[in-house]
Amino acid sequence: MPRRLLLSFLVILLAGGCGENEPSAQTTPTGAHTSVANLRLAVPGGPVRARMGGDGRLRATTAVAGTAHPGGRVAVDAGCTSPGCAAIARVDRRGRWRARVELRADSDSPFTRITATSGDRVAVALVRIQRPTARRRRLTAGPPLVDLPPRDAPAVPPPSPRRRTLVMIGDSLAVGTKPYLASLLPGWTVEIDAQEDRTLASGMRRLAKLATRPTVLAFSLFTNDGPQDLAPLEAALRRTAEHQRGRGCAIWATIRRPPVNGVSYARANALLRRAAAEEPGTLRLADWSAESEQHREWLAGDHVHATATGYAGRAALYADAARACAR
């Protein structure tokens, strides 16, 4: 009997020791692909041909592609309400994905913003939509009439298009907006002077040192100022309107921040909206307060700053206002 117990004990020891040489369940399998850390979005480099829809807007369809974490999913949104304007793409083992989305745009602003989101990463790109060309009717009688210049008139070269510029002066919200804004304004020169905790007074001092006269002056200010005294904000609006009048426009964003000492920013936002309405050709509004109210998921936990998606949306508000100013 003791011998049988001893044999049983040896069998148990051997069985327990066998597992020490087996590979762990966390061992990397052979042939695993390296993950792609950054989300990338590629859109057509040239304009996408469109047709005119029944609602008077341009309509088109385009393919987009990019890279993301293998095995994940990418949400693609072209910003319109049609079901075809959004798509979910699966990322293959090599980290590549593709999707096809519908585009909508107004004929006087033929651009569409495409946003790709995967987890907490966001990529934004702008697509130009080509207006449909009208078919020319062939003339069947008579030669075309051409206005000829006098024989001794010198040739006049066509005017070169003026390069459009945007200069932004702002606070930490401008810091978050910076990575997205330039990509939404192709062909523009974009300069962003952003500083955390910047107040309105500090921003106006920076404006006084500005040496250039940009097409658009954009401001991301007053979030670090209390809403009780609006006189400095009103003076800043008048000053920036005067600075840009006849040269371009100034863009101001409405404020999204919890009340300070029981006072909300509703009066400040009303002042901003009223000033933009009184100076439609000079002051433009990026209505961040209204837009973030519709997209609560854009806001960070402090309800002041934004997520990556929120900053991309904020940048789009400035870009839309800038293009409207430059027309």
Residues 20-43 pLDDT 10s: 333 333 332 323 333 345 788 888
What is the residue range of 191's domain?
A: 165-326
Q: Are 118 and 178 in contact (CB under 8 A)?
A: no
Asked whether residue 126 falls in the same domain as residue 170, the answer is: no
Backbone torsion region of residue 102, taken as left when φ is above 0, otherwise alpha when ψ lies between -120 and 50, otherwise beta: beta
* Angle, in degrees to the nearest 10, between helices 266-278 and 231-244: 30
The CATH number assigned to the domain holding 67 equals 2.60.40
Rg (the chain; Cα; Å): 29
**Among candidate residues 130, 151, 184, the one where a domain is terminated:** 130
Nearest-angstrom CA–CA distance, 277 and 56: 26
Asked whether residue 115 falls in the same domain as residue 224, the answer is: no
28: in domain: no
- Please name the residues in contact with 11: beta carbons below 8 A apart, sequence gap of 6 or more: none
Nearest-angstrom CA–CA distance, 285 and 292: 14
The CATH number assigned to the domain holding 188 equals 3.40.50.1110
Nearest-angstrom CA–CA distance, 190 and 93: 37
| pTM recorded for the entire structure | 0.62
> For 181-186, what is the mean pLDDT?
87
Q: What is the dihedral of CA 178, 180, 181, 187, to 10 degrees?
A: 120
> For 254-274, what is the mean pLDDT?
97
Asked whether residue 116 falls in the same domain as residue 190, the answer is: no
Task: Give the pLDDT band of residue 164 (cuts 50, 70, 90).
Answer: very high
16: in domain: no
294: in domain: yes
The total of structural domains in the chain comes to: 2
316: in domain: yes
Among positive and negative, which fits the CA dihedral 163, 168, 169, 175? negative
Task: Give the pLDDT band of residue 161 (cuts 50, 70, 90).
Answer: low
> For 147-172, what is the mean pLDDT?
65
44: in domain: yes
20: in domain: no
Asked whether residue 175 falls in the same domain as residue 242, the answer is: yes
Is 50 exceeded by the pLDDT of residue 174? yes
Over the stretch 90-146, which tens digit does the pLDDT of each residue have? 888 888 999 888 898 887 778 888 989 888 888 888 888 888 876 555 544 444 544
Asked whether residue 315 falls in the same domain as residue 184, the answer is: yes
Is 60 exceeded by the pLDDT of residue 59? yes
Asked whether residue 209 falls in the same domain as residue 71, the answer is: no
Asked whether residue 174 falls in the same domain as residue 318, the answer is: yes
264: in domain: yes
290's tokens: 């209204």
Asked whether residue 219 falls in the same domain as residue 319, the answer is: yes
